[in-house]
Chains A and B, each alone.
With several copies, the nearest count.
Chain A
Amino acid sequence: MTGRPIAMWPILRALFARELRLVLRGGHLLPVLAFVFICVMLMPFGLGPELSLLQRLAPGLLWVIMLMAVLLSLDRMFQADFEDGGLDQLLLLPIALEGAVIAKICAHFVGILLPVLAAIPLAGLLLNIHPDAVLPVLATLLAGAPALVMLGAIGAALAVGVRRAGLLTVLIVTPLYVPVLVFGAGGLARALAAPGMLDVGALGVLGLISMASLFLAPPAIAAALRAGLR
Chain B
Amino acid sequence: MVNTEYFSGAYADFSRAAMSGDALCLRADNLACVRGLRVVFADLNFAVAAGGILHVSGANGAGKTSLLRMICGLLAPAAGHISLSGNTALARQSHYLGHADGLKNTLTPRETMIYESRLMAAHEACAPEDLLAHIGLAKQADQRVGTLSAGQRRRLALSRLLAAPRPIWLMDEPYTALDTAGRDLVDTLMRCHAEAGGMVVLAAHEAVPLADAQLVLDA
Contacts and interface: CB of A to CB of B under 8 A. Distances in A.
B72 interface: yes
Given A22-B104, A92-B94, A229-B74, A85 B115 contact: no
Given A2-B14, A91-B74, A230-B146, A163 B98 contact: no
Contact of B100 (A10, A21, A83): A83
Contact of A86 (B72, B104, B111): B104
Contacts of A88: 69, 74, 96, 98, 100, 102
Interface stretch (A11-19, A120-128, A152-160, A197-205): A11-19
Contact of A230 (B93, B94, B147): B147
B165 interface: yes
Contacts of A89: 96, 102, 160
A178 interface: no
B91 A92 contact: yes
Contacts of B205: none
B79 to A, nearest CB: 18
Nearest to A88: B74
A92 to B, nearest CB: 5
Contacts of A83: 100
Contacts of A229: 74-75
A86 B167 CA distance: 21
Given A84-B101, A85-B98, A92-B95, A10 B146 contact: no
A17 B118 CA distance: 10
Contact of B92 (A17, A92, A163): A92
A118 interface: no
Given A17-B115, A88-B74, A91-B73, A10 B121 contact: yes
Contact of A4 (B123, B147, B167): B123
A22 B111 CA distance: 11
A42 interface: no
B107 A21 contact: yes
Given A88-B96, A91-B91, A93-B120, A22 B107 contact: yes
Contacts of B146: 161, 230
A4 B99 CA distance: 31
A3 B13 contact: yes
Given A91-B91, A92-B72, A92-B96, A85 B102 contact: yes
A2 B196 CA distance: 13
A85 B100 contact: yes
Nearest to B95: A92
Interface in A5-48: 6-7, 10-11, 14-15, 17-18, 21-22, 25-26
A1 B132 CA distance: 28
B215 to A, nearest CB: 22
A14 B117 CA distance: 9
A85 to B, nearest CB: 3
Most buried by A among B74, B84, B96, B106: B106
B180 interface: no
**Looking at B84, B92, B94, B119, which has the most chain A CB atoms within 10 Å of its CB?**
B119
A18 B115 contact: yes
A94 interface: yes
Contacts of B103: 84, 86
Given A88-B98, A88-B100, A229-B74, A1 B118 contact: no
Contacts of B93: 1
Contacts of A15: 119
19 contacts: A1-B13, A1-B84, A11-B119, A18-B107, A25-B106, A26-B106, A84-B100, A86-B103, A88-B74, A88-B98, A89-B160, A91-B73, A92-B72, A92-B95, A93-B92, A93-B120, A94-B92, A94-B121, A230-B147
The 3 closest A-B pairs by CB, nearest first: A85-B100, A14-B118, A85-B102
Given A14-B115, A92-B72, 12 more contacts: A1-B13, A2-B13, A3-B13, A11-B121, A26-B106, A85-B99, A87-B102, A92-B91, A92-B95, A161-B146, A163-B106, A230-B147
